[in-house]
């Protein structure tokens, strides 16, 4: 039975990402570079304050710093400036948005001048699509807009950006029922395309000369931009010498990926190389990570899944001719860390090299001719890497889901220069938390290995039987479970629920990223599967075979955003398994969702597929208890998704609960404690059969750490 004390513990765990260091110390090292990246310092939250450490990797030394003011000596960056400006590499200028145009400011004397003058509504410079611009969230934190999407040339004389054209994109509307001034409802209008629309947001690449101001436009068709700015997503970038801009493009069906060269002086565009495939061709399986493409002096390192796995290939930069495959095997390149052209070698992280867990990342090296492969981190841990600006060394955080991280500085031979921190989880353990269990089960096909994490309830007693909550996120753009120690991000759902007395499951089904091309392509045209919900059902049954304390007669499901869609879909498609569900901010109606997601994974011209992905026609299949939650001002997944599903449930005469939160955006940033507690109450009542305690959490303040979690 959940008590007030259990709720208090759950609240502590819910607040954990907002207040890092209170329960775990030394798990995160964020370097602040000095001396050109040769040295750095970092701060560690101690629970009662901070301690500061200065590191010199060359000598292999670290020392405590008692006076933080000492840390500014040799600092690379100037004191924080305007967060809405983007400073130049030489620190002399900064670009910002003004209305629909871009302006530059001389940081020495404050002079300002316009870089563009013809911006207009729906046709502005340096902005991403309105559908992913988070205007409600920005209003809450007091920002008029995001910084402009620009990239400075290495010599600080030019700016790469784009002119966004949304003039013909359909408009959507949100009504703010209770504005802060107490006035009448306020209408908020947003450009938001739907799958199949004739008009999507477009990005015309431009290069802006700073002194004197001049505009050079790319002599090519504008890029499709349904979700992210190509500059922000790093699909467009400067060559190291500033002599060219390179960018990636895909047609609307996403089955061809091309690399182009843009001459910043003339705007002339040439195609360097391209690749086509049967399904989408991606420069990285993870949607939000930068492309695995590097343009070198005379050749291109190119990521491809043509042999069924994500590997690097080498092309001639001038002719586009394939020179050879660099990496190979039944594993995949995850991130390019460094290319040493002089030594003809590339350093990267890879997954699939650890037999115990194919999601764990290893740091590797290989020669550009494909010889001399070696693992620099030859262990079974997961490695998260931060490369120093000068690329002389890297920070390595090594952990697993049940092994707290150890952070060290390594050189490119894999030698440890200095150990920085060993995470202390004693305060976390004191709450009743225990390390989760990494498990492997078979998918619903009976053949494919799937991996997940099982959280035991606090106060675990193997003689008892516990209700189970499946915390879902279907991807396919990101995985649900990280292979590293959870710093309180993905555990935002799982850890508090375990504190309330639930056994909690998190699983990556077929169709999620991080494995082979075939594994990821299980989601192609099958978003309706909810990230392999049949796999979740199969996993629950297998887990219960030798864990009789898992009560499969009391299984719930909980998810947010895409997870909200999957939670409701689990209730509709698998009512024999899921008895109660909480669906928060769910994208329940694919035909009215963002095409940058729906068309990417369900196909660009597939109205029948999109209709199958919509949960609305399945409303009459609801048998269990369902709580639908949505923010009134959710501009990412509009509240109409939940209200349309609610409308169908009413028409089907189904009993359900609905919480529409006035003024809330997609992440419930200023009312997350309230919303999550309502969800906990629902699950406690429906799965435990008891009345929840009269416990009300304190609001979580909107601080920089919480914002970092939300934007991540």
On whether the CB atoms of residues 594 and 610 are closer than 8 A, the answer is no
DSSP 386-403: EE-TTSS-EEEEEEETTE
* 429 phi, psi to nearest 5 deg: -60, -35
Distance, in Å, from the CA atom of 404 to the CA atom of 202, rounded to the nearest integer, reads: 44
| Token pair in block for residue 407 | 């952070």
| Token pair in block for residue 548 | 């009789």
Q: In what order do the strands lie in the sheet with 269-276?
A: 236-238, 245-249, 256-262, 269-276
What's residue 71's pLDDT? 81
Mean pLDDT, all residues of the chain: 94
For residues 197-236, one letter each, b for 16 or more C-beta atoms within 10 angstroms of the residue's C-beta and e for the rest, the string is: eeebbbbbbbbbbbeeeebbebebebbbbbbbbbbbbbbb
| Token pair in block for residue 214 | 């001049």
Tens of pLDDT, residue by residue over 621-638, are 999 999 999 999 999 999
What's residue 77's pLDDT? 45
On whether the CB atoms of residues 506 and 543 are closer than 8 A, the answer is no
Taking CA atoms, 502 is separated from 458, 464, 554, 559, in Å, by 8, 12, 10, 15
Q: Which CATH class is domain 432-711?
A: alpha beta
pLDDT classification of 489: cutoffs 50, 70, 90: low
Q: What is the mean pLDDT of residues 459-471?
A: 97
- How many other C-beta atoms can be found within 10 angstroms of the C-beta atom of residue 139? 16
- pLDDT greater than 80 at residue 60: yes
DSSP state of 49: S
Distance, in Å, from the CA atom of 451 to the CA atom of 463, rounded to the nearest integer, reads: 26
- How many other C-beta atoms can be found within 10 angstroms of the C-beta atom of residue 33? 17
Angle between helix 491-499 and 672-683 (nearest 10)? 50
- pLDDT greater than 90 at residue 225: yes
On whether the CB atoms of residues 476 and 511 are closer than 8 A, the answer is yes
Query: Omega of the bond prior to 212 within 30 degrees of 0, cis?
Result: yes
Q: Which residues contact 388 (CB under 8 A, 6 or more apart)?
A: 31, 33, 37, 38, 40, 57, 394, 395
- pLDDT greater than 70 at residue 613: yes
Least confident of 47-51, 118-122, 398-402, 547-551: 47-51
- pLDDT greater than 90 at residue 498: yes
Q: Which residues contact 691 (CB under 8 A, 6 or more apart)?
A: 685
- Quick check: helix, strand or coil at residue 124? coil
Distance, in Å, from the CA atom of 312 to the CA atom of 326, rounded to the nearest integer, reads: 5
Distance, in Å, from the CA atom of 322 to the CA atom of 337, rounded to the nearest integer, reads: 22
- Quick check: helix, strand or coil at residue 674? helix
pTM of this structure: 0.95
State the number of CA atoms in the 13 A half-sphere of 638 facing the CB: 23
Tens of pLDDT, residue by residue over 303-334, are 999 999 999 999 999 999 999 999 999 999 99
What's residue 493's pLDDT? 82
DSSP state of 146: P
Backbone conformation region of residue 211, classed left if phi is above 0, alpha if psi is from -120 to 50, else beta: beta
Largest CA distance in the chain: 77
Closest CA to 93 of 172, 205, 210, 2: 210
In percent, how much of the chain has pLDDT > 70? 95
Distance, in Å, from the CA atom of 336 to the CA atom of 294, rounded to the nearest integer, reads: 8
Q: Which residues contact 303 (CB under 8 A, 6 or more apart)?
A: 283, 284, 291, 292, 293, 310, 311, 312, 313, 333
41 pairs with which residues across the strands?
32, 54
* 591 phi, psi to nearest 5 deg: -60, -15
């Amino acid at each position: 039975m959940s008590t007030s004390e259990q709720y208090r513990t759950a609240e502590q765990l819910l607040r954990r990402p907002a207040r890092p260091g209170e329960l775990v110390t030394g798990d995160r090292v964020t370097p602040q570079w000095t001396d050109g990246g040769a040295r750095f310092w970092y701060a560690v939250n101690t629970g009662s304050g901070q301690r500061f450490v200065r590191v010199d990797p060359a000598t292999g030394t670290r020392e405590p710093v008692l006076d933080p003011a000492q840390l500014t000596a040799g600092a690379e960056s100037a004191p924080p400036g305007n967060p809405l400006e983007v400073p130049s590499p030489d620190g002399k200028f900064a670009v910002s948005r003004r209305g629909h145009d871009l302006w530059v400011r001389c940081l020495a004397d404050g002079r300002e001048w316009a870089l563009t003058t013809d911006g207009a509504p729906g046709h502005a410079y340096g902005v991403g699509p309105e559908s992913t611009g988070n205007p409600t969230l920005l209003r809450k934190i007091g920002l008029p807009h995001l910084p402009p999407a620009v990239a400075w040339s290495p010599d600080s004389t030019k700016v790469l950006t784009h002119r966004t054209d949304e003039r013909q994109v359909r408009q959507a509307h949100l009504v703010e029922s209770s504005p802060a001034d107490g006035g009448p409802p306020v209408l908020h209008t947003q450009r938001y395309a739907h799958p199949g629309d004739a008009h999507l947001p477009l990005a015309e690449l431009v290069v802006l000369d700073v002194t004197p101001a001049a505009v050079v436009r790319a002599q090519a068709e504008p890029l499709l931009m349904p979700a992210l700015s190509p500059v922000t997503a790093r699909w467009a970038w400067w060559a190291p010498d500033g002599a060219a801009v390179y960018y990636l493009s895909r047609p609307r069906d996403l089955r061809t990926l091309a690399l182009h060269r843009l001459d910043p002086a003339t705007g002339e565009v040439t195609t360097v190389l391209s690749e086509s495939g049967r399904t989408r061709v991606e420069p990285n399986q993870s949607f939000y990570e930068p492309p695995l493409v590097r343009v070198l002096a005379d050749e291109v390192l190119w990521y491809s899944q043509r042999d069924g796995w994500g590997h690097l290939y080498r092309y001639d930069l001038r002719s586009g001719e394939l020179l050879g495959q660099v990496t190979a095997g039944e594993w995949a390149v995850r991130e390019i860390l460094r290319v040493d052209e002089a030594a003809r070698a590339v350093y990267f992280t890879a997954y699939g090299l650890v037999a115990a867990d194919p999601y764990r990342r290893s740091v590797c090296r290989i020669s550009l001719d494909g010889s001399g492969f070696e693992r620099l981190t030859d262990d079974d841990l997961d490695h998260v890497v931060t490369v120093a600006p000068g690329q002389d060394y890297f920070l390595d955080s090594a952990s697993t889901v049940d092994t707290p991280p150890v952070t060290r500085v390594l050189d490119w031979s894999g030698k440890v220069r200095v150990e920085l921190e060993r995470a202390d989880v004693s305060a976390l353990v004191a709450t009743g938390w225990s390390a989760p269990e990494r498990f492997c089960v078979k998918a619903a096909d009976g053949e494919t290995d799937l991996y997940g994490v099982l959280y035991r309830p606090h106060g675990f007693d193997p003689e008892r039987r516990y209700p189970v909550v499946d915390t879902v996120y279907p991807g396919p753009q990101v995985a649900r479970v990280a292979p590293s120690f959870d710093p309180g991000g993905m555990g935002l759902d799982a850890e508090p629920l375990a504190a309330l007395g639930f056994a909690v499951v998190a699983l990556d089904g077929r169709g999620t990223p991080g494995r082979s091309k075939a594994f990821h392509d299980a989601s192609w045209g099958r978003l309706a599967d909810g990230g392999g919900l049949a796999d979740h059902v199969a996993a629950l049954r297998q887990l219960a075979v030798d864990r009789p304390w898992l009560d499969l007669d009391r299984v719930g499901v909980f998810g947010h955003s895409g997870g909200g869609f999957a939670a409701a879909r689990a209730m509709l498609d698998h009512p024999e398994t899921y008895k109660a569900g909480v669906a928060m901010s769910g994208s329940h109606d694919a035909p009215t969702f963002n095409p940058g997601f729906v068309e990417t994974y369900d196909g660009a011209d597939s109205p029948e597929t999109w209709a199958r992905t919509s949960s609305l026609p399945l409303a009459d299949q609801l048998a269990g208890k369902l709580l639908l939650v949505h923010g009134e001002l959710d501009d990412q997944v509009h509240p109409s998704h939940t209200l349309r599903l609610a409308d169908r449930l009413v028409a089907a005469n189904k009993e359900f609960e609905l919480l529409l939160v006035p003024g809330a955006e997609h992440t419930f940033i200023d009312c997350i404690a309230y919303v999550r507690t309502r969800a906990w109450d629902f699950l406690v009542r429906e799965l435990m059969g008891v009345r929840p305690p009269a416990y009300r959490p304190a609001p979580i303040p909107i601080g920089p750490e919480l914002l970092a979690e939300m934007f991540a």
